[in-house]
Chain A
Amino acid sequence: MTTSERRLAGFEERQLAELKEHIAARSTAAPARRPRGRLLLAAAAVAAGVCAAVAIPAVFGGGGESAYAVTRDANGVVYAELRDFRDAAGLSDQLRRLGVPAIVDYTPEGKMCREPRGKHVEDIPRDLYHVPESIPGEKHGWRMRIDTRLFKPGQTFVWTIGKNTSTSTILMEGPVGPCELVDAPEPKEIRPPYRLATTKGRSLAGYRVDEKTVGEVVPEIEKRGLKVVYVIMALPPGNPGGFGELRVQKAPVGEDWTVWEAEEVIEGPEDTPTGVIRLLVTKEHHDRNPVYGGPRDAVIPEGS
Chain B
Amino acid sequence: MRDPEAFEEFYRRHTESVSRFVARRVTDPHTVADLTMEVFLAAVDTAGTYRPERGSQAAWLYGIARNVVATEHRRAAREVHKADRAAGRRPLDADDIARLEERIDAERDARRLLSAIAALPKGLRAVAELVHLDGLPVEEAAAALRIRVGTARVRLHRVRRLLRTEFDARRPEPAIAKGTS
- Residues of chain A at the chain B interface (Cβ within 8 Å): 1, 3-4, 6, 8-12, 14-16, 18-20, 22-24, 26-27, 34-38, 40-41, 43-44, 46, 48-49, 122-126, 190, 192, 234, 236-237, 241-245, 291-294, 298-300
What CA separation (Å) do A124 and B75 show in the bound complex?
A: 11
Interface check B106, CB cutoff 8 A = no
What CA separation (Å) do A292 and B153 show in the bound complex?
A: 6
Question: CB-CB < 8 A to A293: which residues of B?
Answer: 138, 153, 156-157
**Distance in Å from the Cβ of A36 to the closest Cβ of chain B?**
7
**Distance in Å from the Cβ of A114 to the closest Cβ of chain B?**
23
B157-170 CB contact bits vs A (8 Å, 1 = yes)?
Answer: 10011101001100
Question: CB-CB < 8 A to A236: which residues of B?
Answer: 167-168, 171
Question: CB-CB < 8 A to A41: which residues of B?
Answer: 38, 42, 67-68, 71
Whether A241 contacts B153 by the Cβ 8 Å rule is yes
Question: CB-CB < 8 A to A244: which residues of B?
Answer: 160, 164, 167-168
Whether A3 contacts B12 by the Cβ 8 Å rule is yes
Question: CB-CB < 8 A to A26: which residues of B?
Answer: 2, 44-45
3 interchain residue pairs of minimum CB distance: A20-B4, A48-B78, A11-B96
Q: A19-B11, A19-B40 are in contact. Are A299 and B150 (CB under 8 A)?
A: yes
What CA separation (Å) do A252 and B64 show in the bound complex?
A: 49
Whether B4 contacts A38 by the Cβ 8 Å rule is no
Instruction: Please name the residue on chain A nearest to B15 by beta carbon.
Output: A12
**Distance in Å from the Cβ of B138 to the closest Cβ of chain A?**
6
Q: A23-B44, A242-B160 are in contact. Are A126 and B7 (CB under 8 A)?
A: no
Q: Chain A contact residues: over half helix, strand or loop, or mixed?
A: loop
Enumerate 17 A-B pairs (CB-CB under 8 Å) in ascending A order.
A6-B16, A14-B90, A15-B15, A16-B8, A16-B12, A16-B15, A19-B7, A22-B44, A23-B4, A26-B2, A40-B35, A40-B38, A49-B77, A49-B78, A126-B80, A292-B153, A293-B138
Question: CB-CB < 8 A to B160: which residues of A?
Answer: 242-244
Whether A11 contacts B181 by the Cβ 8 Å rule is no
Question: CB-CB < 8 A to B41: which residues of A?
Answer: 19, 22, 34-36
Instruction: Please name the residue on chain A nearest to B69 by beta carbon.
Output: A40
Q: Chain B contact residues: over half helix, strand or loop, or mixed?
A: helix
Question: CB-CB < 8 A to B150: which residues of A?
Answer: 292, 298-300
- Residues of chain B at the chain A interface (Cβ within 8 Å): 1-4, 7-9, 11-13, 15-16, 33, 35-38, 40-42, 44-45, 67-68, 70-72, 74-75, 77-80, 85, 88, 90, 92-93, 95-96, 99-100, 121, 138, 149-150, 153-154, 156-157, 160-162, 164, 167-168, 171, 180-181
Instruction: Please name the residue on chain B nearest to A3 by beta carbon.
Output: B9
What CA separation (Å) do A3 and B37 show in the bound complex?
A: 20
Q: With contacts defined as CB atoms under 8 Å apart, how many contacts are there between chain A and chain B in the complex?
A: 145
Question: CB-CB < 8 A to A125: which residues of B?
Answer: 78, 80
Whether B78 contacts A126 by the Cβ 8 Å rule is yes
Question: CB-CB < 8 A to B79: which residues of A?
Answer: 123, 126
Told that A11-B100, A41-B71, A298-B153 touch, could you supply 18 new A-B pairs with CB distance under 8 A? A1-B180, A14-B90, A15-B15, A19-B37, A19-B41, A22-B44, A23-B1, A23-B2, A23-B7, A38-B85, A48-B74, A49-B77, A49-B78, A122-B77, A237-B171, A241-B153, A244-B160, A293-B153
A43 touches which one: B12, B74, B77, B96 (CB < 8 A)?
A: B74
What CA separation (Å) do A18 and B11 show in the bound complex?
A: 12
A1 touches which one: B3, B90, B181 (CB < 8 A)?
A: B181
